Amino acid sequence: MIIKRVMAGVNAANCYIVFDEETREAVVLDPGGDVDDICKALNQFGATVKYIVLTHGHFDHTTGVEELKSIVGAPVAIGFEDNEMVLKGAMYYGPLPDGGADILLKDGDTLKFGGHTMTVIETPGHTPGGICLLVENDIFTGDTLFAGSIGRTDLAGGDYDTIIHSIKSKLMSLADTVAVHPGHGPSSTINREKLMNPFMR
């Protein structure tokens, strides 16, 4: 499995291409813009996109979704609550294609691509329907958990106590060796965040 990060959109959000070399199937996470750059990376792999998955519904992670879907034809998946936030026009949410996402995700759902399984972990707090995505020893945390920090909770649907509970109960229970790939900034590990993240004390 190859993980390719593309810094996308005006806020340089981390878009990830998670690619299976054997089948050449890929999942694209959080295409927040710069679709040309994302497609260039996909073409370099010769990848077929099976899913476009969103960790949450904020615009800096969703702006490129409609254009990318029109090119690759893959279904769009997001947590149920964030799909609802987009559809009702909550500030800082969307855009998504008309009618919202194709697949609404909940805790424990799985998405298969190539020989890999991506497992959905609900982690509300930054947004009501925020999710993290676990593939073997890698977790994609969106704006829930960053290297040395956590997502902001002062936007529509955010809640500080909820995000802390999500991180401590859902993420810090993972193996220390799991690599953390956040929605902004550098990668980390679960162990490093346990030891160094001030919000985990």
Name the residue ranges covered by the structural domains of the chain: 2-200
The DSSP secondary-structure symbol of 171 reads I
Domain 2-200 fold is Metallo-beta-lactamase; Chain A (3.60.15)
- Is residue 10 very low, low, confident or very high in pLDDT (cuts 50, 70, 90)? confident
User: Which residue reads 């009501």 in tokens?
Assistant: 128
pLDDT tens, position by position, 63-103:
999 999 999 999 999 999 999 999 999 999 999 999 999 99
Instruction: Report pLDDT for 139.
Output: 98
Share of the chain above pLDDT 70, in %: 100
**What's the whole-number average pLDDT of the chain?**
97
Query: What is the reported pTM?
Result: 0.97
Asked if the model's pLDDT at residue 54 lies above 90, the reply is yes
Category of 45 on φ-ψ map: left (φ > 0), alpha (ψ -120 to 50) or beta: alpha
> Three-state SS for 14?
strand
What is the spatial distance between Cα 187 and Cα 185, in angstroms, rounded to a whole number?
A: 7
